[in-house]
Amino acid sequence: MQPANNVMVLYTGGTIGMQASANGLAPASGFEARMSEALAQLNMPAWGFREMSPLIDSANMTPAYWQRLRAAVIEAVDEGCDAVLVLHGTDTLAYSAAAMSFQLLGLPAPVLFTGSMLPAGVPDSDAWENVSGALAALGEGLAPGVQLYFHGALMAPTRCAKIRSFGRHPFAALRRNGGVAKAELVPAALHYRQAKALANVGVLPLVPGIAAAQLDGLIDSGIQALVLECFGSGTGPSDNPQFLASLQRAQDNGVVVVAITQCHEGGVELDVYEAGSRLRGVGVLSGGGMTREAAFGKLNALIGAGLDTAEVRRLVELDLCGELS
């Protein structure tokens, strides 16, 4: 873990740099000058600045934007930066940081995500403490890979989620477990140097009485993979033959279906209950203790890498960057 001496700051927008507009708070340019002024008296590693385009409220984040962010991170490292700090809105920060964990496998530099719950400059804002704390953490030295920094805490993005819409501690590590087998060899197609295509991944939370027609609608929309948010340790409507038939049709059509739990703690073990083993019987894979953010980002990366369906299915249940450990 080498101390960073040349950090690239990538500003995507988000609350941290928002200013008032006629329709409420909106992302604004000019954050580099505000950041320079705020940090002028602090002992920070040298940093450069790049404003991403367009600047967005993170509610408008997309996998296509992740591709631009990924390219910007790689460009910064190729140009000599030894760390990257991403300023990002909090609503989808955990999604983006988890996705980048899989998109940047093998990157020889740390990438740190942070943001703020209140805009820089307003009373009681957490913006500058998060920015300065993140830069200080990079200056002290972090291992290569993606991490999330907020209010003094470093978190693994494949293990955490935004759990609060207020206060200074919006993110927390979820106590998930299940599935600890490490991938012994990561395919070359997943290396950060290899281009990634966009993937079409859906998410479906189960609710009591969910109909097969809802699942069919997703399958027929052209998705390549589905995160199925199951009950408890991975159970679903196993006495609904139409629902099970739809899951079987998904597998027959090459759609990779991964079960995760809706619970904040624990993980999926499909073979504990009959209601889970029947899901396994129609091709549903265990997501172990993966969070929704991790499962969504992982499937986007695996499918975007052009791996065949059998290889995607194999790697889903193996740990690539801490999502199952």
Helix (H) or strand (E) holding 297: helix 292-304
Spatial CA neighbour of 221 closest among 255, 251, 248, 252? 255
Token pair in block for residue 95: 């999604």
Total Cβ atoms within 10 A of residue 162: 16
Are the beta carbons of 243 and 236 closer than 8 angstroms? yes
Residue 169, classed as helix, strand or coil, is coil
Burial category of 273 from C-beta neighbours within 10 Å (exposed 0-12, middle 13-18, buried 19 and up): middle
Active site residue 158: no
| Residue of 12, 15, 114, 235 marked catalytic | 15
11: exposed, middle or buried (Cβ count in 10 Å: 0-12, 13-18, 19+):
buried
Cα(316)–Cα(201) distance, rounded to whole angstroms?
Answer: 14
* Cα–Cα distance measured from residue 171 to residue 148, given in angstroms and rounded to the nearest whole number: 9
Three-state secondary structure along 223-285?
A: CCEEEEEEECCCECCCCCHHHHHHHHHHHHCCCEEEEEECCCCECCCCCCCHHHHHHHHCCCE
Report, as residue numbers or ranges, the catalytic residues. 15
